[in-house]
Each structure stands twice: as C-alpha cells, then as structure tokens.
Copies of this chain bind each other. A is one copy, B any other.
Amino acid sequence: MEAAYRTGAREECGVFGIYAPGRDVARLTFFGLYALQHRGQEGAGIATCDGTATYVQKGMGLVAQVFHEDNLRPLQGHIAIGHTRYSTTGASHLRNVQPYVIETMYGPLGVAHNGNLTNALELRHQLLQRGVGLSSTTDTEVIIQMLAAPPEVTRRLPPHTDERAGPRWVERIRALMQVADGAYSLAILTRDALYAVRDSHGLRPLCIGEIEGGYIVASESCALLTVGARYVREVEPGEIVLINRHGITSLPGIPARQPALCSFEYVYFARPDSLLEDQVVHGVRQQLGQQLAREAPAAADLVIGVPDSAIPAAIGYSRESGLPYTEGLTKNRYIGRTFIQPDDHLRQVGVSLKYNPLTANLDGQRVVLVDDSIVRGNTVGPLIRLLRDGGAREVHVRVSSPPVRHPCFMGVDMATHTELIAHQLDVPAICEHIGADSLAYLSLEGMLDVIRGSASAPERHCTACFSGHYPIEIPAWLFETEREKLMFEAVWGT
C-alpha cells in the first residue's frame, strides 16, 4: 500500500481499557497505547479513576511524546482507559483528543472510541435541540453526552417498567446502541467499572485479555501481549462487557447482525502480530500473497515488497511462485514529521526522502513489487521510478487486495470517491498511470477465501471499500459530502 503516513488510508484510533486493582493501570495503559501507536499518531490520552475522582492527561503527538513520569504519576486509580488518535493533514486540536471525560449526575464518565457513527450529525442535532452545547466536532462527544442523558431521553424505546435507582449505565449504553448507527468500539470508564462495547456488526476490532489482578480490553491483541496479558476472546458484535469488582460479565447490548469486521484490518491496518478472529494477521497476509501468486503470476526474477506493510504478502508470493524473495527498497527508519520541504530542484529530480533503491539487488532484474493496496495511487508510481533508477529492468506490480473503489464511512478516513484511483480508472489505465510493466490485483473472492479461513464459510466481513456493498445504510447526503467531519469543521471553524 502507499505510505499510510499522511497520504493514504488512516485508521481512526486505538482503544485501550483496564480494570486491575493493585496494578499501575496508567503505566500499563501507556504501554498498551505504545503498542497501538500504529492506529493513530496525532494525539494520545489516558483517563483513570480511583473510585472517587478521575484524572486525565492528553496531548498532541506520539504516545512517548505525550507522556513522561511527571504527568503519568498523577493518574491514580485502578481503572483506566486510553486512546491513540489518527493524524490529519488539516487542523488538529487538543480538544479533539480522546478519551473524553465528563462529570454526570452519577459521577465521572469517560469514553474512548474507535469508529464512526454514520448518523452522528442527526444525533448531534438532537443533542443541540435538547440544549446541550458541544465543544468539539467529534462523534465521541456525541456519544458521551448521549450516555450522560437519562435513558428516557436517550432511547427510542419506552422506559423499563422496573426503574431502579442508580446510574443504570448498562441501560444507557443499551439506549445509545439502539440509536447509534455505524461503527463503534468503545472503552467506557465509570466510577466503579470498565465497559467494552462493540457495534452490532463488529465493524471495528475489540478484544479482551486477562492480566494478573484484572482484565483488559484493546483494539488489537498486540497491546495485550505488550503488557503481559493473556488473550481471552473478542468482544462480540452488539455485546456489552462489564468489568468491575465482581469480575467480568457479558451483557446483552443489541442483537448482533451480520458480522462485518473490516477486511482492511487484515490487508493493512492491524499489526502483523495481532490476532483477528483467531488468525494471526501476518499469516493471513502471507496467504493473501500466496493466493495472489496463484491468481496473478509474473514472468520475473525476484519478488520484493513495499516496506513495511507489504512484506508478509511478498514473502507469501515468493513462496508460492518460487521466485526468490529479497529487499529492493530501503526505508529511512527515522522518518518523522518534518515541515522542511525539498526545494524545486529536488522535487524535479524526484528525490525520495523515505525510500532508496537497493541497486545491487535490482540491477538488470525483472522485479515483482508486491503492495498490500492502492488507494490514491500517488505513492506506488514514484517507487516504480525509484526501482527503475536503481537498475530494475521490469517492474510488475501485484496488489494483495482488490481495487479500492468506494469510500469508507465506518471509521477509516480513506478518501473520497474522486480521490480513489480505482474509482476513476480501470486496471490497465492505472498500470499506465503508475508506469508499471504489468499490474494485477487480488480478486475479491480470493481475498475473502483467505481471510474467512475457508472458502465454504459464509461471508462475515465488510468489503465495502472494494465491493461497494455497505453492511449498514449510508445516508445519501453522506455520499454526497462524503466527509461528515469536514462538514462539521466548516460550520464550526478552527
């Protein structure tokens, strides 16, 4: 895939939660966020609760830049939630960094959210009509203010007949789930409990781990491993998981619908060492490469992958095709945000700050370049040129996922229709555009056969960006504007 950093698809956020009396939950959350850093580099935050008070610390930048011993120490308590936020090209504001924490009638409430509500604008409008002023443009604020409201206000259904006293957080969460459309994986902190919630399709991942003294929820299992926790299972679509001093309890949220975990998690987003649906992502990616080799062989001398995300698929392609695997591009490991731009001359000569070709490996060779996906198509072209400059005789691009033709409204800020190269051009035209000697994508069927583990299993993944079949109803206006968030920004300003 093209560079995820600033130019391609962006995953919206990593979520972490822990309930573990006697453990340093803020520190464990820090390390969990560290492992989820690939899901968001714009900002990070941690909120804790000690049963009475809540403590919050957030900041812009990488997790290791936001936190240090001095601001971690005050985060007392035995419950914590944390969040890493994706990078935007435009304005980023501290006020949009999660977790959100508010004071409610029944004490503190904190929310960390990964996903995107497709009816956020409608829910936002309802809140504004109720007279709730909102201080950010995020759907997370919509979620937390809806949870703060009494259930009678929130839900569409009539109130329960057996009204009990108390915050009734479960009822409120359930009421939210009944009205919230779209994708959401939530870690919710209250005065005495941690909740993990997943939408009825299970669009975004969320899993549970066990640690000495308590439980953890995280967007990906790599965060469990990193803090020494044991993987237990995924949170089920529509499920509410309650973790408190009585242990862990599964509660019905809303009825599960057709499972539809984002297939792009397998293709690109998830860390290769994470488990999704009991499959290690790296293994799935190797198999995608193998399937790709079967579907789209190439007359070539060697196989290379776009570092780092396409390496597993390239290894799989090599293994299946019998073509030797090697590295063809060096990636500058210290690349980071720099605001210093190349001068005109450098731009003209197409200098690359991020990649250099490995000339010794490429010289005179016919190269298969495996990428995991092509979104906008503005990164793979320069890489092909680099490979040719480095001596490659032919460059055959093989992509271990189908063409991305449709925008995502379920939590991935991918691109608009017009920005998606495969929406604009067919495969031969893309091949010409990027300057490859040949180009082939993995078929949708081939991809699904691999990621569902067995060709005969029923479909259970979201393939909307490839197929255009959205598992949930997308409001027409959203297709038109395509970017709910941007619309909010226009209303709201900086």
The stretch among A61-69, A196-204, A372-380, A404-412 that forms the contact with chain B is: A61-69
Interface pair A346/B133, CB less than 8 Å apart:
no
Once the chains bind, are B491 and A53 in contact (CB under 8 Å)? yes
Residue A359 lies at the interface, judged by CB distance under 8 Å to chain B:
yes
A156 to chain B, nearest CB (A): 15
Residue A177 is within 8 A (CB to CB) of chain B in the complex:
no
A326 partner, pick from B64, B135, B315, beta carbons under 8 A:
B315
Tell me how far the C-beta of A137 lies from the nearest C-beta in chain B, rounded to whole angstroms. Answer: 8
CA distance A86 to B23 in the complex (A): 36
- List chain B residues, Cβ under 8 A from A35: 332, 353, 356
Q: State A55–B54 Cα separation when bound (angstroms).
A: 29
Q: Is the CB of A338 within 8 A of B64?
A: yes
B132 touches A55 (CB 8 A): no
Q: Roughly how many angstroms separate A154 CA and B311 CA in the complex, as a whole number?
A: 55
Q: What is the CA–CA distance of A144 and B101 in the complex, to the nearest angstrom?
A: 18
Segment among A26-34, A158-166, A247-255, A417-425 that sits at the interface with chain B? A26-34
Interface mask (A94-122 → B, CB under 8 Å = 1, otherwise 0): 00000011111100110000000000000
Q: Does B31 contact A222, Cβ atoms closer than 8 Å? A: no
A486 at the interface (CB under 8 A from B): no
Shortest A490–chain B CB gap in Å is 8
CA gap between A361 and B319 in the complex, in Å = 13
Taking the closest CB of chain B, its distance from the CB of A98, in whole angstroms, is 13
- Flag if A64 contacts B134 (CB, 8 Å): no
Given A54-B492, A212-B345, A494-B55: A286 and B326 within 8 A (CB)? Answer: yes
Inter-chain contact B360/A103, CB cutoff 8 Å: no
Contact yes or no, B353 A333, CB < 8 A: no
Q: Which residue of B lies closest to A224 (CB)?
A: B356
B336 to A272, Cβ gap below 8 A? no
In the complex, A41 has a CB within 8 A of chain B: yes
* Per-residue contact bits, chain A 37-70, to B (CB 8 Å; 1 contact, 0 not): 1100100000000101111100000111101110
B129 near A105 with CB under 8 A, answer yes
A324 to B: closest C-beta gap in Å: 6
Is A3's CB within 8 Å of the partner chain B? no
Note all chain B residues with C-beta closer than 8 A to A283: 358, 360-361
Cα distance A312–B311 in the bound complex, in angstroms: 13
Contact mask A299-342 → B, CB, 8 Å, 1/0?
A: 00000000010011001001100001111001011111111101
**B102→A27 contact, CB < 8 A:** no
Q: Which of A145-153, A426-434, A437-445 contacts B (4 or more CB under 8 A)?
A: A145-153
CA–CA, A131 to B153, complex, Å? 8
Contact B108 A131 (CB under 8 A): no
A473 within 8 A of B: no
Q: Chain B residues near A102 (CB, 8 Å)?
A: 133-135
Name the interface residues of A377-394: CB closer than 8 Å to any CB of B. none
Write out the residue numbers on chain B whose beta carbons fall within 8 Å of the beta carbon of A34: 332, 334-335, 338, 353
* Contact pick for A358, options B50, B137, B280, CB 8 Å: B280
Max chain B Cβ within 10 angstroms of own Cβ: one of A100, A133, A352: A133
Check B273 against A359 for contact (C-beta < 8 Å). Answer: yes
Q: What 1/0 flags go to A475-494 for Cβ under 8 Å of B?
A: 00000000000000011111
| Listed stretches A179-187, A225-233, A238-246, A454-462; interface member | A225-233
Tell me, in angstroms, the Cα distance from A131 to B279 when the chains sit together: 42
Instruction: Please give 19 more A-B residue pairs, beta carbons under 8 A apart, in addition to A28-B346, A131-B148.
Output: A24-B343, A27-B342, A27-B343, A31-B342, A34-B334, A34-B335, A41-B334, A103-B128, A103-B135, A103-B491, A104-B133, A130-B149, A131-B150, A226-B352, A228-B346, A273-B356, A286-B361, A312-B326, A315-B327
Interface positions of A (Cβ within 8 A of B): 23-24, 27-28, 30-31, 34-35, 37-38, 41, 50, 52-56, 62-65, 67-69, 72, 74, 100-105, 108-109, 128-135, 137, 144-145, 147-150, 153-154, 212, 222, 225-228, 271-273, 279-280, 282-283, 286, 308, 311-312, 315, 318-319, 324-327, 330, 332-340, 342-343, 345-346, 349, 351-353, 356-361, 490-494
| Listed A/B pairs (5) with beta-carbon separation below 8 Å | A28-B343, A72-B340, A212-B345, A222-B356, A311-B327
